[in-house]
Amino acid sequence: MERLWDSLEKLRAKRPLVHNITNYVVMNTTANALLAIGASPIMAHSPEELNELVALADSMVINIGTLDSQWIYSMLMAAKLAKKMNKPVVLDPVGAGATKLRTETSSMILETGAVKVVKGNFGEILSLAGEFGKTKGVDSAVYDAERGKELAKTVALKYGVVVGITGPVDFVSNGKETYAIKGKVDVVKNVIDRVTGLGCMVSAIVGAFIAVEDPLIGTIAGMAAFKAASIEAAKEAQTPGMFHVKLYDWLYRINGRHIENDINIERID
């Protein structure tokens, strides 16, 4: 997996323009995460300018966290434009499974054929597999490491996309190959569920990586880079306010050596 460092260097050299149609809660968070790691974010949703912006962008991130009918219209229009212009799209189906609107909107966006990567937590990806569980909020579906591998593969095959599932162990699958991404040290557990938008950060960062790599490598690289940055930040701060600040610092500072030291990536299928 030495290609992962190369991916990070490629990202920083290209400084890809990542177009985000995302939720109100994390717009600032994900813009700052993208800038910190070395990409260039734009947040824009107006139908009147989507055609021009999709043309300018290198990739797109669609995040349904605070969706409503107007924003769904923009998301679908943007996805169709991205498909037409061959710009890779990451979908973060925030809260899929919690409400029909979120599950159905995720399906509609997937049906455009524009999505190359779906990045969600366990419960969200489970809902895309057709299983609905009670989602407690959008941040904390019940994570089941035993089922993660199969779930990632199943949903990848169902939609013909790369699937990334975040959790204590991340899973990434394109249906043919499946990987587990694990931190070598367990320092993030006190803080990782105490800051909003971290999953959304991962999706945004994956969006930057798939502007410079194919979807499978880009997703693994993005999730590994984020995990390494979160481990380095948690080594310095075990409380949510300071951890959050240090996370941006480490997205900026992270390099191949940190990823190698902190992260274990294993092909499991």
| Span 15-74, contacts to a copy of itself by CB under 8 A | 15, 17, 23-29, 31-32, 35-36, 40-49, 52-53, 56, 65-70
Residue of 1, 117, 118, 138 interacting with a copy of itself (CB under 8 A): 138
- Residue 130 region by backbone torsions, left for phi larger than 0, else alpha for psi between -120 and 50, else beta: left
| 197 in a known ligand binding site | yes
| 207 in a known ligand binding site | no
**10 Cβ neighbours under 8 A, 6+ residues apart:** 212, 213
Select 118 or 200, whichever has its Cβ closest to a copy of itself.
200
User: Nearest distance from residue 75's CB to a copy of itself, in Å?
Assistant: 13
User: Nearest distance from residue 236's CB to a copy of itself, in Å?
Assistant: 10
Select 101 or 129, whichever has its Cβ closest to a copy of itself.
101
Tell me how far apart the alpha carbons of residues 157 and 151 are, in angstroms, rounded to a whole number.
10
- Radius of gyration from C-alpha coordinates of the chain: 17
| 119 in a known ligand binding site | yes
Tell me how far apart the alpha carbons of residues 197 and 183 are, in angstroms, rounded to a whole number.
20
**15 Cβ neighbours under 8 A, 6+ residues apart:** 38, 39, 40
Select 67 or 223, whichever has its Cβ closest to a copy of itself.
67
Identify which of 44, 32, 106, 104 has the alpha carbon closest to the alpha carbon of residue 74. Answer: 44
User: Nearest distance from residue 4's CB to a copy of itself, in Å?
Assistant: 22
Residue of 101, 145, 157, 268 interacting with a copy of itself (CB under 8 A): 101
Q: What percent helix, strand, coil does the chain show, rounded to 5?
A: 50, 20, 30
Identify which of 224, 216, 217, 209 has the alpha carbon closest to the alpha carbon of residue 259. Answer: 224
Residue of 98, 117, 128, 254 interacting with a copy of itself (CB under 8 A): 98
User: Nearest distance from residue 246's CB to a copy of itself, in Å?
Assistant: 6
**Is residue 268 involved in binding a copy of itself (CB under 8 A)?**
no
CA angle 65/68/72 to nearest 5° reads: 85
Select 54 or 265, whichever has its Cβ closest to a copy of itself.
54
Phi, psi dihedrals of residue 63, rounded to the nearest 5°: -130, 120
Residues annotated within the binding site for ATP are 119, 166
Binding site for a copy of itself (CB under 8 A): 15, 17, 23-29, 31-32, 35-36, 40-49, 52-53, 56, 65-70, 95, 98-102, 134-140, 193-197, 239-242, 244-249, 252-253
